[in-house]
Amino acid sequence: MNDLAIVTKLMFKEKRDIVLSIVLGFVAGLATVFLFAASGYLISKAALSAPIYALALLIASVKMLSFIRAFSKYGERYFSHRATFTVLSNLRVSFFEKLEPLAPGIFQKYRSGDLLSRIVGDVESLQNYFLRVFYPPIVLVLVFLSTILFTSFFSFFAAILLFVGLILTTFVIPGLFALKQRKIDSHVRTQRGYLSTEVAEFLHGFRDLKIYQKLQGKEQMLEESSDTYINQQETENKAILFSQSVNIFVTLFITWSILAMGAYFIGVGELDGIFLAMLVMISITVFEDASPMAIFPIYFNDTKRAANRLFSVVSDTETEQHKSGLQEGELNEVPNIEMRNVQFLFPGDLRKTLADINLSLPAGSKTAIVGASGSGKSTVMQLLLNIYAVEEGEICFDNIPLTQVKQESIWEKANVVLQSNHFFYGTIRDNLLLANASLVDKELQEVLEKVHLGSFDLEDPVYERGENLSGGEKQRLAIARSLLKNKGLWFLDEPTSSIDAITEKKIYNHIFQQAKHDTLVLISHRLIGMENMDQIIVMDHGQIVECGTYEELMQMKGYFYQMKEIEKNLL
């Protein structure tokens, strides 16, 4: 579906406000034209020394038209803006509903700053679609045609000139400037996305830039990028002003032509002179409604490109891949998991991250996945969590293909500890309650004791991304959340890599005690405690090279045995 068509579909949910905006805009436009037409006629009539009683009706008409114009103009603005803000609200909700299933895989394609630019800037740009692209041309054409029809009763040639002005100011001039503006707008929007990306990266990496003394160079790059963006905005604004100037010139030329033509026809006796001021006032007034058409192509291209950038992030095909064939049935609390001939390749990579992965995780089993850094261990876990989709093969939960299982169904039943865990700005309590909002303080304090964070108070502050916590404290707080969630499926990716060996052993005792009857997958570089695992999967270069119990692998004296011997020597 065309991207603007999606916006239009959302817009038509507010049919009542749209119709009222058009009707009131039409009434306001006609009232303005007739107000100034009556004023022009009144001036001419008064100049002929007409008695006051002869002018009373005209004066009353002018006052009435001014009231109609004011109220209808207010109504038009009220309903048009209400419709716009409601459409923007619906658009944000619709966009987020499509975006949410694509996270976090979406960050493979887009940088966070670019996404922020699209979500904020491009959505805001789309407010101009209704206010300046959709309904103003409709109102303009209706008002213009009505005015031309009215004018034709007094002067057919004046009506012809107004029609020519309509064609020039509504179609010809905007069309010519649209071709030039398309290229300018593309550069401005691209540069805005680039600047947003660079600013986000600068803020996130400020500490490292400071440490490596690269802060000044990065600031210089940002200033240059900002200057480029400002220059492109200036170019865009100059094009807008030039388009408006040409449009104003044409409207004034038409007005002067009507004045000259009217004078000629008065001279030859084909037009009553009392109507000349009225015709001139009509021309001046009706072209005021045409002035927004000078920037119509600018806003049209702007909203079209904004819609393209926005919905390219959440294309229908990608969203459908995450939603097609989803089953409503519930998974078992402790599921049986199988990976069959699974292959995976990250976008843009030439080498497969995973190749021919066959793996069985029986319900209630404890499985360790070990191997060198970059061997594909974490990718296996991300595929099991349905964060990424497999290229070939299939993953089944209780014999149900993962492609037919909702992501939320898996995440709801999983206790997950990642290598890098996110913590929100707030308190220790706020971050623990993510696991279960109904927990009481006593339960929270007990789990903090289990992970050796008993010295923490629930009201202690947590900065954005846990900046005031050490690496080990972050991992223990993440483990505390998983213990509080207490589901039957555990995915632990290097959960204790920053924790000392003594504390690590105590925490693992709590985890294995709680997960006694659960399915548990542990990814680890450390080989301590592998004797307690039901099976150990050894990976290297995206393939499973060994599989078995601790005793079986040690007897094989293969890759796992070598890793264990190296670890013994280091310890």
Comparison of pLDDT for 100 and 401, the residue scoring more: 401
Helix (H, G, I), strand (E, B) or coil at 166: helix
User: Helix axis angle, 173-204 relative to 215-267, nearest 10°?
Assistant: 160
Give the pLDDT band of residue 53 (cuts 50, 70, 90): low
CA–CA separation, 462 and 444 (whole Å): 16
Q: What is the mean pLDDT of residues 358-363?
A: 92
Give the pLDDT band of residue 54 (cuts 50, 70, 90): low
pLDDT of residue 325: 43
CA–CA separation, 467 and 244 (whole Å): 51
Contact 319, 343 (CB under 8 A): no
Q: Mean pLDDT lowest for which of 111-120, 246-255, 488-497?
A: 111-120
Q: What is the mean pLDDT of residues 392-406?
A: 86
Give Rg (Cα) of the chain.
Answer: 35
Give the pLDDT band of residue 499 (cuts 50, 70, 90): confident
CA angle 408/515/486 to nearest 5° reads 45
pLDDT of residue 320: 45
Domain with CATH 3.40.50.300 in the chain: 337-570
Beta bridge partners of 338: 360, 396
CA–CA separation, 259 and 275 (whole Å): 11
Q: What DSSP element (H or E) covers 348?
A: none
Please list, in sequence order, all residues whose beta carbon lies within 8 angstroms of the beta carbon of residue 117, skipping any fewer than 6 positions away.
192, 193, 196, 197
pLDDT of residue 26: 93
Q: What is the mean pLDDT of residues 257-275?
A: 87
Q: What is the mean pLDDT of the chain?
A: 85
Q: What is the mean pLDDT of residues 516-524?
A: 91
Place of tokens 């995976």: 344
Q: Is the pLDDT of residue 318 over 70?
A: no
Superfamily classification of domain 3-314 = ABC transporter type 1, transmembrane domain (1.20.1560.10)
Superfamily classification of domain 337-570 = P-loop containing nucleotide triphosphate hydrolases (3.40.50.300)
Give the pLDDT band of residue 474 (cuts 50, 70, 90): very high
State the virtual CA torsion across 389, 390, 393, 395 in degrees, nearest 10. -50
pLDDT of residue 317: 44
The count of C-alpha atoms lying within 13 angstroms of the C-alpha of 430, restricted to the half-sphere facing its C-beta, is: 13
Domain with CATH 1.20.1560.10 in the chain: 3-314
CA–CA separation, 38 and 61 (whole Å): 7
164-193 CB burial, b ≥16 within 10 A, e <16: ebbebbbeebbeebbeebbebbeebbebbb
Q: What percent of the chain has pLDDT over 90?
A: 29
Helix (H, G, I), strand (E, B) or coil at 558: coil
Neighbours of 89 (CB within 10 A): 11
pLDDT of residue 324: 42
State the virtual CA torsion across 563, 565, 570, 571 in degrees, nearest 10. 110
Q: What is the mean pLDDT of residues 404-429?
A: 87
Comparison of pLDDT for 318 and 430, the residue scoring more: 430
Q: Is the pLDDT of residue 339 over 70?
A: yes
Beta bridge partners of 535: 367
Question: Got the DSSP string for 232-273?
Answer: HHHHHHHHHHHHHHHHHHHHHHHHHHHHHHHHHHHHTTSS-G
pLDDT of residue 185: 64
Q: Is the pLDDT of residue 478 over 80?
A: yes
CA–CA separation, 367 and 202 (whole Å): 40
* Of 231, 156, 218, nearest in space to 188 by CA: 231
State the virtual CA torsion across 137, 140, 144, 146 in degrees, nearest 10. 110
pLDDT of residue 50: 64
Q: In what order do the strands lie in the sheet with 535-540?
A: 414-417, 489-493, 519-523, 366-371, 535-540, 543-548
pLDDT of residue 30: 92
Comparison of pLDDT for 24 and 113, the residue scoring more: 24
CA–CA separation, 33 and 279 (whole Å): 10
CA–CA separation, 558 and 571 (whole Å): 20
Comparison of pLDDT for 570 and 139, the residue scoring more: 139
Helix spans in 100-134 (H): 112-116, 123-125, 127-128
Please list, in sequence order, all residues whose beta carbon lies within 8 angstroms of the beta carbon of residue 376, skipping any fewer than 6 positions away.
353, 354, 357, 539, 541, 542, 543
CA–CA separation, 548 and 558 (whole Å): 12
Q: What is the mean pLDDT of residues 530-554?
A: 91
- Residue 148: both structure tokens together: 């031309």
Q: Is the pLDDT of residue 120 over 90?
A: no
Q: What is the mean pLDDT of residues 217-234?
A: 87
Using one digit for the tens of pLDDT, what is the confidence trace for 66-107? Answer: 999 999 999 999 999 999 999 888 888 888 888 877 776 677
- Residue 361: both structure tokens together: 């995780």
Contact 186, 232 (CB under 8 A): no
Comparison of pLDDT for 138 and 525, the residue scoring more: 138
